[in-house]
């Protein structure tokens, strides 16, 4: 298929015409889903805020189901398709493989997303994101999800195909870039995830139309989580790739060690999916040995991988800043980092919040016995709002500040507001996540319409602190939503009204990535090496917080009733 | 060279890893091992471990066992709904039904005595959330989970359902007395 290649004059990135269009449309649809999910978030938070209790129970559960699906699947998957196409076609400077198929995948995802949303808003499919059987949704709820899964699988196939194209057309020499490697990790995990999803959603769909009589409720939970949790690992691999991407573009950062960072991505592929077992720690159907094996041996290698990225990403920033001469003391590199650049600020807040809040809480939650203190409490959404939202969503928002000028060729409007947005959203979401975890520690349930239990035969009064935490969740949740709405306004406003930028020279042929000069290769190690003492301090702070919080929870556990 | 370009050293996997990075990898590995050992340690020395004892069952089978238990051990009824309060024999077996939308019956336990509490659901997934103690266990239809519990405090405790189970989910509140 005839195509053209455009080299962006500002960034030097090269966009192939078909890939460019696919990325644009996936990104635009992603933003629209974020808008729908964000309106859902407002309904959820204003209902759980005890002072308001906005929606009636049925609408609350409907909106909560939509919020989960539209955010966790629709917004993130569509954006990830754009990330995959960017990491392959743009970074490897080659044509995208089978763009027509790519459009097929795109439309499957769009139609599937709409279908599932129609099912949800018809009111008969308020089964939550997890849709645990035997609670049943309408058949088109499951069918929509299956279409989304097939569409995403096609996106992954396009990514793999594009890697082959680049190799065959020799648009680069040596190995693929780190960011592409991270995206490859995400795509491999995605294939596993989607196959697990097919393994559970197809039978569930058949059950919903009456072709299968029964699905074992425990088996469903096990297979579903191979989809449910692994899909979050795609997000982790994708947003870690963006953590490498943004500093590379903004301050010219390079990995401290290709080997270490790629090894850490490899650990994700090998071990992360198995970590989905940690959703079943308080279930009856699995043995303690199975739980310990899956949550420790397997999960801790993935945790180790995240801890490695948690070191190498800020380390790469520190090294790049020190090379620029910000060499005084331990933290001049950090103070003088480009905090006014929303892409960088968003990326760094994402890194810190994901590590300190999402990461630590996730590992504690995933400890076999400690899980009993938090299973199904508000702690769980507290945890994943500091992984998927401050981690993934904020990283995606941050990279968009780079994509709007280079991909959409529009200057961002209102630069002052752009500067504020990642702080507003990132910090408010981090605080929200923290107070959600606080409420969960006090036992408050997730997915629960009324913490006053109106209509129950008995009374139970939560501690005053729990009400305080829920009130704070409401307050900071609303600020987070304002931060998210601001991002949508800025992005959509820039796409519509932003100053048009020069697209750069268009050519019929790709310009391959120039091979590294032997001198540059030789200087890569040794002379170029920079020590990163500031990062060491940050990493140790993470470790200390991790260890203390981990043992505090064992202390809590030791105080509850005896169980055996 | 940069994260968005192919590695400048084509043989990047032959580069040596800096001492700082090795140290951090080592720390992360050791910490993972410590966390692994903690779970096993707690199985041996800790006093809060979730029971491994579970059986496949059906709502009918479980309900029959529970009704027998209730008929034999009820000491009084409470509320307008006449919910039975059932005294579980110390060291013996107690049955708790989770269903739309109540926990049935009310159990009465004694502090410091060990009980085998059988949990199962008649319909959807439910969540056993004992408050304010804060113990949370998934209750799944078709599975009978036998959890050994020893109350360490007296008073009135609530069982909140913390797995979404439909429109009446928030009214699903049960009760345990510990004397």
ipTM of this predicted structure: 0.96
pTM of the predicted model, to two decimals?
0.95
pLDDT at residue A427 is higher than 70:
yes
pLDDT digits (tens, 9 = 90+) for B56-108: 999 999 999 999 999 999 999 998 889 999 999 998 999 999 999 999 999 99
Tell me how far apart the alpha carbons of residues A264 and A284 are, in angstroms, rounded to a whole number.
33
Of B1, B3, B49, the CB nearest to A564: B49
Taking CB atoms and an 8 Å cutoff, what residues of chain A touch B142?
216-218
Share of chain A above pLDDT 90, in %: 84
Q: Which two tokens stand for residue A252?
A: 């010219």
Given A195, A219, A249, the domain boundary residue is A249
How many CA atoms lie less than 13 Å away from B93 in the CB half-sphere? 13
Q: Of B2, B129, B149, which has the smallest distance from its Cβ to A376's Cβ?
A: B129
Residues A345 and A327 placed together within one structural domain of the fold: no
Mean pLDDT of chain A: 93
CATH number, domain with residue B72:
2.60.40.420
Q: Return d(Cα A7, Cα A16) in angstroms, integer.
A: 9
pLDDT at A136 over 80: yes
Structure tokens at A160: 């793999």
At A233 the pLDDT is 87
* Contact criterion met (CB below 8 Å) for A366 and A550: no
Q: When comparing pLDDT for A2 and A207, which is higher?
A: A207
Question: Which position has the token pair 């699947």?
Answer: A73
Check CB contact under 8 Å for B147 and A442: no
Let me know if B64 is exposed, middle or buried by CB neighbors in 10 A (0-12, 13-18, 19+): exposed
What is the DSSP code (8-state) at residue A22? Answer: H
Shortest distance between the Cα of A195 and any Cα of chain B, in A, equals 25
Instruction: Tell me, yes or no, whether A522 lies in a domain.
Output: no
Residues of A in contact with B111 (CB under 8 A): none
| Beta-carbon separation of A258 and B114 below 8 A | no
Q: Within this chain, do residues B28 and B61 fall inside the same structural domain, yes or no?
A: no
B61–chain A nearest CA distance, Å: 16
Residue A377 pLDDT grade (very low, low, confident, very high; cuts 50, 70, 90): very high
- pLDDT above 70 for A520: no
Residues of B within 8 A of A222 (CB-CB) are none
For A422-442, what is the mean pLDDT? 97
Has residue A509 been placed in a domain? no
Number of domains in chain A: 3
Q: For the CA atoms of A411, A412, A414, A415, what is the dihedral angle to 10 degrees?
A: -100
Paired strand residues for B56: B143
> CA-nearest residue of chain A to B160?
A445
Q: How far is B72 from chain A (nearest CA, A)?
A: 24
Q: Are residues B27 and B94 in the same domain?
A: no
The Cα of A430 is separated from the nearest Cα of chain B by a number of Å equal to 24
Residues in chain B with CB shorter than 8 Å from the CB of A91 are 4
Burial class (CB in 10 A: 0-12, 13-18, 19+), B94: buried
| Beta-carbon contacts below 8 Å between A and B | 313
- pLDDT > 70 in chain A, percent: 96
Looking at the DSSP bridge assignments, the partners of residue A506 are A6
State the Cα–Cα distance between residues A188 and A237, nearest whole angstrom.
10
Q: Is residue A523 part of a domain?
A: no
| pLDDT-based confidence at residue A271 (cuts at 50, 70, 90) | confident
Same domain, A329 and A366: no
Burial per residue of A141-176, b for 16 or more beta-carbon CB atoms within 10 angstroms, e otherwise: bbbbbbbbbbbbbbbbbbbbbbbebbeeeebbebbb
Among A272, A284, A382, A461, the residue to mutate for chain B (most B Cβ within 10 A): A284
> At which of A224, A249, A274 does a domain end?
A249
What is the pLDDT, as a whole number, of residue A525?
47
| C-alpha distance from residue B56 to each of A59, A279, A322, A421, B141 (Å) | 35, 20, 62, 52, 9
Chain A residue with the nearest C-alpha to that of B46: A558
Task: Using the predicted structure, report yes or no on whether residue A523 has a pLDDT greater than 80.
Answer: no
List the single best residue of A457, A530, A540, A546 to mutate versus B (max B Cβ within 10 A).
Answer: A457
**Beta carbons of A367 and B39 less than 8 Å apart:** yes
Instruction: Indicate the helix (H) or strand (E) that contains B135.
Output: strand B135-139
Integer Cα distance of A141 and A205 in angstroms: 8
Same domain flag for A407 and A465: yes
Do B140 and A221 lie within an 8 Å CB cutoff?
Answer: yes
A301 CB neighbours in chain B (<8 A) are 32
Structural domain of B102: 54-178
- Banded model confidence at residue A300, pLDDT cuts 50, 70, 90: confident
The pLDDT value given to residue A518:
52
Same domain for A27 and A170? yes
Q: Which of A334, A359, A330 is nearest to A345 (CA)?
A: A334
DSSP labels, A377-432: BTHHHHHHIIIIIIIIIHHHHHHHHHHHHHTS-BPPS-HHHHHHHHHHHHHHHHHH
Contact B162, B127 (CB under 8 A): yes
* Cross-chain CB nearest to A369 (options B48, B134, B149): B48
A373 with A472, same domain: the answer is yes
Nearest Cβ partner for B170 among A260, A450, A539: A450
The whole-number average pLDDT for the span A475-490 is: 98
B111 domain residue, yes or no? yes
Same domain, yes or no: B74 and B132: yes
In this structure, is residue A5 part of a structural domain? no
Give the residue from A446, A321, A396 showing the smallest Cα distance to A77. Answer: A396
Q: Does pLDDT of B152 surpass 90?
A: yes
Distance set, CA A20 to CA A87, A94, A166, A200 (Å):
12, 12, 16, 34
CA distance A117 to A124: 11
Which candidate from B36, B130, B166 shows the least CB-CB separation from A300? B36
pLDDT at A196 over 90: no
- Domain count of chain B? 2
List the single residue in B39, B139, B169 with the smallest CB-CB distance to A292: B39
Could you say which of B28, B131, B163 has the minimum Cβ distance to residue A308? B28
Judged against a pLDDT cut of 60, whether residue B177 lies above it is answered with: yes
Q: Is residue A488 part of a domain?
A: yes
Look at residue A290 in the predicted model and tell me its pLDDT. 86
Per residue in B9-60, pLDDT (tens digit) is 888 888 888 899 999 999 999 999 999 999 999 999 999 999 999 999 999 9
The model's pLDDT over A319-366, given as tens digits with 9 standing for 90+, comes to 999 999 999 999 999 999 999 999 999 999 999 999 999 999 999 999
Which range has highest mean pLDDT (A252-256, A502-506, B105-109)? B105-109
Q: Indicate whether B111 pLDDT > 60.
A: yes
* Neighbouring residues of A379: CB distance < 8 A, sequence distance ≥ 6: A361, A365, A436, A437, A439, A440, A441, A446
What is the C-alpha to C-alpha distance for residues B143 and A183, in angstroms, rounded to an integer?
A: 40
In a shared domain, residues A20 and A133 = yes
B37 with B62, same domain: the answer is: no
pLDDT tier, A526 (very low <50, low <70, confident <90, very high otherwise): very low
- B68 plus B150 within the same structural domain: yes
Same domain, B30 and B75: no
pLDDT of residue A527: 47
Residues spanned by the domain of A400: 339-500
Residues of chain A contacting B77 with CB distance shorter than 8 Å: none
Could you say which of B6, B27, B45 is where a domain stops? B45
Q: Decide if B24 and A307 are in contact by the 8 Å CB cutoff.
A: yes
Q: Is residue A507 part of a domain?
A: no
| Shortest CA distance from B131: residue in chain A | A443
Which pLDDT belongs to residue A289? 87
pLDDT digit string (tens) for B118-151?
Answer: 999 999 999 999 999 999 999 999 999 999 999 9
Residues A273 and A365 in one domain: no
Which whole number is the average pLDDT over A206-228?
A: 93
Segment among A35-44, A280-289, A547-556, B135-144 with least mean pLDDT = A280-289
Q: How confident is the model at residue A285 (pLDDT cuts 50, 70, 90)?
A: confident
The per-residue pLDDT for A472 is: 97
Phi, psi of A560 (to 5 degrees): -85, 180
């Amino acid at each position: 298929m005839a195509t053209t290649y455009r080299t962006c004059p500002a960034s030097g990135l090269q966009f192939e015409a078909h890939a460019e269009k696919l990325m644009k449309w996936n990104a635009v649809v992603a933003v629209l889903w974020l808008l729908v999910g964000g309106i859902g978030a407002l309904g959820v938070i204003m209902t759980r805020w005890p002072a308001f209790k906005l929606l009636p129970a049925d609408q609350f559960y409907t909106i909560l189901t939509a919020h989960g699906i539209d955010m966790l699947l629709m917004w993130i998957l569509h954006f990830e398709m754009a990330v995959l196409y960017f990491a392959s076609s743009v970074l490897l400077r080659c044509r995208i493989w089978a763009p027509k198929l790519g459009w097929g995948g795109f439309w499957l995802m769009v139609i599937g997303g709409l279908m599932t949303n129609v099912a949800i808003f018809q009111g008969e499919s308020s089964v939550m994101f997890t849709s645990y059987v035997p609670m049943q949704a309408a058949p088109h709820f499951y069918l929509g999800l299956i279409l989304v899964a097939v569409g995403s699988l096609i996106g992954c196939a396009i990514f793999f195909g594009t890697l082959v194209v680049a190799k065959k057309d020799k648009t680069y020499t040596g190995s693929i870039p780190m960011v592409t490697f991270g995206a490859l990790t995400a795509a491999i995990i995605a294939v596993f995830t989607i196959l697990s999803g097919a393994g559970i959603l197809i039978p569930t769909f058949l059950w919903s139309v009456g072709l299968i009589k029964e699905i074992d409720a425990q088996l469903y939970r096990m297979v579903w989580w191979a989809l449910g949790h692994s899909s979050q690992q795609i997000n982790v691999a994708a947003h870690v790739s963006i953590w490498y991407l943004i500093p590379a573009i903004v301050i010219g950062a390079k990995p401290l060690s290709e080997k270490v960072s790629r090894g850490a991505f490899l650990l994700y592929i090998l071990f992360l999916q198995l970590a989905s077992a940690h959703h079943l720690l308080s279930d009856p159907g699995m043995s303690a040995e199975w739980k310990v094996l899956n949550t420790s041996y397997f999960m801790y290698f993935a945790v180790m991988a995240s801890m490695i990225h948690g070191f190498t990403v800020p380390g790469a920033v520190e090294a790049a800043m020190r090379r620029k001469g910000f060499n005084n003391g331990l933290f001049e590199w950090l103070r003088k980092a480009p905090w006014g650049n929303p892409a960088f600020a968003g990326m760094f807040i994402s890194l810190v919040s994901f590590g300190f809040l999402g990461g630590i809480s996730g590992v504690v939650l995933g400890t076999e016995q400690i899980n009993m203190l938090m299973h199904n409490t508000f702690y769980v959404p507290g945890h994943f709002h500091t992984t998927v939202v401050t981690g993934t969503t904020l990283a995606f928002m941050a990279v968009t500040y780079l994509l709007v000028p280079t991909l959409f060729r529009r200057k961002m409007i209102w630069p002052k507001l752009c500067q504020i947005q990642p702080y507003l959203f990132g910090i408010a979401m981090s605080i929200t996540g923290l107070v959600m975890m606080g409420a969960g520690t006090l036992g408050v349930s997730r997915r629960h319409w009324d913490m006053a239990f109106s209509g129950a035969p008995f009374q139970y009064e939560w501690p005053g602190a729990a009400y305080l935490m829920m009130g704070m969740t409401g307050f900071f949740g609303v600020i987070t939503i304002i931060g998210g709405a601001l991002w949508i306004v800025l992005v959509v406003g820039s796409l519509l009204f932003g100053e048009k930028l020069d697209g750069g020279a268009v050519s019929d042929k790709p310009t391959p990535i120039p091979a590294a000069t032997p001198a540059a290769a030789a200087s890569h190690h040794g002379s170029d090496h920079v020590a990163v003492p500031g990062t060491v301090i940050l990493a140790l702070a993470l470790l200390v917080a991790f260890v203390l919080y981990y043992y505090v929870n064992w202390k809590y556990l030791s105080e509850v009733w005896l169980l055996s | 060279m940069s994260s968005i370009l192919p590695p400048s050293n084509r043989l990047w996997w032959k580069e040596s890893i800096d001492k700082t990075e090795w140290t951090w990898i080592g720390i992360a590995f050791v910490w993972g091992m410590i966390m692994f050992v903690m779970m096993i340690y707690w199985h041996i020395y800790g006093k809060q471990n979730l029971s491994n004892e579970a059986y496949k069952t059906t709502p009918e089978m479980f309900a029959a066992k529970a009704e027998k238990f209730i008929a034999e051990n009820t000491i009084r009824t409470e509320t307008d709904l006449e919910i039975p309060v059932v005294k579980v024999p110390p060291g013996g077996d107690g049955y708790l039904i989770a269903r739309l939308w109540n926990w049935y019956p009310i159990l009465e336990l004694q502090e410091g005595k060990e009980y085998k509490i059988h949990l199962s659901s008649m319909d959807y997934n439910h969540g056993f959330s004992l408050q304010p103690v804060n113990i949370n266990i998934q209750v799944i239809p078709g599975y009978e989970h036998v959890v050994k519990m020893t109350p360490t405090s007296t008073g009135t405790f609530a069982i909140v359902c913390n797995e979404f189970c439909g429109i009446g989910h928030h009214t699903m509140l049960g009760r345990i007395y510990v004397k």
